[in-house]
């Protein structure tokens, strides 16, 4: 399975590195450029702020420690100027802010996440988006609460546990007319499952690419009305939903009760056609089309 992704890596990496999508570029394992883009951004940066569950990639650690930086993590690391998040929620949002970009997505900054698992992210060049993430990080660093929602020209960012992300998912799915494509690592939320079943009763096509971690949970329930592809030989760590090819939800949140209401998560909702097109390409590669 991974071989087919690697054969596309050269073309995908070239496209992702030169196509600027209204101030954003999509990166992914399928395009073959996650680690290189992140390290390239850090190599040219003079300052950086990092939010992640964990960081163990030594190259990223060395680059961060060589510049003015700060990091908030759930788990300890050899990064200096580090704060461990000891709030009641799990610190699960993953983003990197530098002088000129934000990288935001599903990936942890670990060797397994960057080199082995299937992950995605968006590199934002838009100053408005950079300022959103700077505000989020600065508030967390100083012990204050960020806003629950940040609207920008390119889309809207929603933060858990400061708002109920399940409601965002519901309202997005309610708009579905013909198809929903989902790529997800952890899917355990029964309310979302029920909403998807209701959509299929109205003739909506639902395709779910999931990691076998989810199969052990959601797989216990009848899934005949969906088209399902389970990944067993590689960890599918994506977390995105495409509705009718015109709405995208992506970010750090899995489809779980914890992600919706308990963890610190950030998800992004956009109608940007070029960004959605890139995510549709990722899904088609996963699906084998």
Give 15's pLDDT tier (boundaries 50, 70, 90): very low
Q: Which residues contact 132 (CB under 8 A, 6 or more apart)?
A: 150, 152, 157
Work out the average pLDDT over 205-220.
89
Sign of the dihedral through C-alpha 184, 152, 27, 162: negative
Among 147, 244, 262, 280, the one annotated catalytic: 244
What is the tally of helices (H) and strands (E) in the chain?
11, 15
**9-12 CB contacts, 8 Å cutoff, 24+ apart:** 9/33
Please return the burial class of 282, using the count of CB atoms within 10 Å of its CB with bins 0-12, 13-18 and 19+: buried
The pLDDT tens digits for 182-201 are 999 999 999 999 999 999 99
DSSP for 50-78 reads EEES-B--HHHHHHHHTSEEEEEESS--S
In Å, what is the CA distance from 13 to each residue of 27, 196, 263? Answer: 8, 33, 32
Beta strands 95-98 and 102-105, pairing class: antiparallel
Active site annotation includes 94: no
DSSP category for residue 283: H
Residue 1's pLDDT is what? 38
For residue 289, the model assigns a pLDDT of 65
Tokens found for residue 287 = 């699906």
**Which range among 20-24, 25-29, 140-144, 160-164 shows the weakest confidence by mean pLDDT?**
20-24
Answer yes or no: is pLDDT of 266 > 90.
yes
Catalytic: 91? Answer: no
Query: Of 239, 262, 277, 284, which one is the catalytic site residue?
Result: 239
Catalytic residue from among 69, 91, 92, 237: 237
Cross-strand partners of 160: 265
Q: Which two tokens stand for residue 171?
A: 């309202």
Name which residue leads in pLDDT, 289 or 51.
Answer: 51
Domains of the chain and CATH, by start: 2-158 (3.30.870.10), 160-287 (3.30.870.10)
Give the CA distances from residue 131 to residues 52, 91, 102, 137, 157, in Å, rounded to whole numbers and listed in that order.
18, 20, 9, 10, 12
- Show Cβ contacts of residue 58 under 8 Å, excluding neighbours closer than 6 positions: none
User: Residue 22: helix, strand or coil by DSSP?
Assistant: coil
Q: Is 239 among the catalytic positions?
A: yes
d(CA 199, CA 2): 32
This prediction has a pTM of 0.92
């Amino acid at each position: 399975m991974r071989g087919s992704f690697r054969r596309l890596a050269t073309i995908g990496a070239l496209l992702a590195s030169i196509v600027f999508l209204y101030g954003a570029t999509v990166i992914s394992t399928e395009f073959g450029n996650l680690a290189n883009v992140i390290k390239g951004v850090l190599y040219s940066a003079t300052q950086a702020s990092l939010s992640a569950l964990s960081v163990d990639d030594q190259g990223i650690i060395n680059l961060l420690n060589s510049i003015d930086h700060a990091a908030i993590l759930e788990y300890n690391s050899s990064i200096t100027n580090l704060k461990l998040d000891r709030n009641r929620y799990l610190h699960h949002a993953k983003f990197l802010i530098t002088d000129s970009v934000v990288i935001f997505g599903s990936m942890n900054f670990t060797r397994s996440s960057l080199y082995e698992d299937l992950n995605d992210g968006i590199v934002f060049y838009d100053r408005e988006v950079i300022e959103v993430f700077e505000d989020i990080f600065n508030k967390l660093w100083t012990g204050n609460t960020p806003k629950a929602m940040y609207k920008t020209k390119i889309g809207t960012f929603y933060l858990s546990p400061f708002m109920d992300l399940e409601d965002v998912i519901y309202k997005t799915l309610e708009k579905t007319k013909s198809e929903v494509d989902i790529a997800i690592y952890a899917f355990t939320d029964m309310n979302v499952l029920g909403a998807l079943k209701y959509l299929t009763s109205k003739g909506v096509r639902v395709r779910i690419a999931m990691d076998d971690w989810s199969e052990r949970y959601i797989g216990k329930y009848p899934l005949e009305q969906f088209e399902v592809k389970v990944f067993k030989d590689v960890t599918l760590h994506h977390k995105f939903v495409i509705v009718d090819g015109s709405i995208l939800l992506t970010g750090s949140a899995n489809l779980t009760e914890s992600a919706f209401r308990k963890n610190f998560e950030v998800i992004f909702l956009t109608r940007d056609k070029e960004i959605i097109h890139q995510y549709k390409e990722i899904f088609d590669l996963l699906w084998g089309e």
